[in-house]
Amino acid sequence: CVPGATSKAYKHEPYHADAIRGEDEAYDVNSSLYAGRYHLAPRNADMLADAAPKDPIYIVGSWDCFREAYLMDPEDGNRWNFVVTLGDARCERFQLRVNNSPVEALYPFLKDGSMQTRCAGPDDGGEGHYWLVDGRDSEVPTGTAYCITLVWSTPPRVSWEQIREGVPSWAKHCRHSYAVLGSWTGGVFEALRDVSADDDENTWEAALRIGNSGSEWFRFVRDGDPEQLIYPSTNSCSEDVPVRGPDNMCNEKCWHIFGKVGEAVTLRLQIIDAHITLTVLSNSMGNRVMNSVEGPHRHGYYVAASFTGWSFEPMELDPATSSTFRYRNSLGSSGEE
């Protein structure tokens, strides 16, 4: 077991394997999350542990655009809790900070970390690294409450679970905003106008005119965060192309619209319980409506291999699960692929 590089127990010298897991145990999770049997248990594991911080632990998150740090509730000296709720897109990102200091951040080793992602810190390497509480695949409703828990161990563990408690009072005042990035915005995010109404909630609009090229492109962003883009699954403006996001997997994809020079176009974006509806109002193209796909079907996985002629063929979601995709084919006459 190797302590983190910022740990007081870390030594700048070679480390050697000092633990062997049970014969049938896997190595697909790091030691901090492993709870199985050992043939050879880690030695001196307790000596690698840093003491729990004496200063308070704060949490910052996307629910209010990371504007305010909230104090976590301490419990038993090495455990802290905080209740959050999911916003309109059913997903929120967060990071922890000792004494509310960005240079003492606790963060996932990988971006958009899950509960299986190793916790790093406290140190100054947390920029852009956040945990992601994601209720989109399980289709929990907007406003669902989760209790986020930090347990101080070697290394610290961060987890969350759905609870039945009501919405925290501060969360009632939180609302996400949306902007558009397009060929006419000069490379900057241009805020959408809030046109929400009682019978048309959480709706945003942008107005533009077609330029001299006769075409324009665009995508959207939540809270001005380039890690939370909304975009089409392929470069298009066809109604059968799903809306994706908000996430960081855009890869420069965007919608393309066409029309006469100077023609007025209205873009209308609505997000209700993670379902995204984009409406394009245009004389040349008519009114087009694009929608997102909810649940695990929002993911798409493909296989390219010698038996597909190296073209991509879709995998199918196993209906008994929410995360397993399968593909079946047969070996060719050579007996290998």
CA distance 170 to 158: 22
Three-state DSSP state, 38:
strand
CA distance 329 to 311: 14
Three-state DSSP state, 58:
strand
Place of tokens 């990988």: 110
CA distance 280 to 289: 6
pLDDT tens digits for range 189-211? 999 999 999 888 899 999 999 99
In 145-159, which positions are buried (b, 16+ CB within 10 angstroms) versus exposed (e)?
Answer: bbebbbbbebbbbbe
The confidence band for 219, taking pLDDT boundaries of 50, 70 and 90, is very high
Query: Mean pLDDT throughout 275-281?
Result: 94
pLDDT tens digits for range 162-181? 988 767 777 777 889 999 99
The confidence band for 298, taking pLDDT boundaries of 50, 70 and 90, is confident
Compute the C-alpha angle 58/61/65, nearest 5°: 125
* pTM (two decimals): 0.79
Determine contact, residues 202/167, Cβ cutoff 8 Å.
no
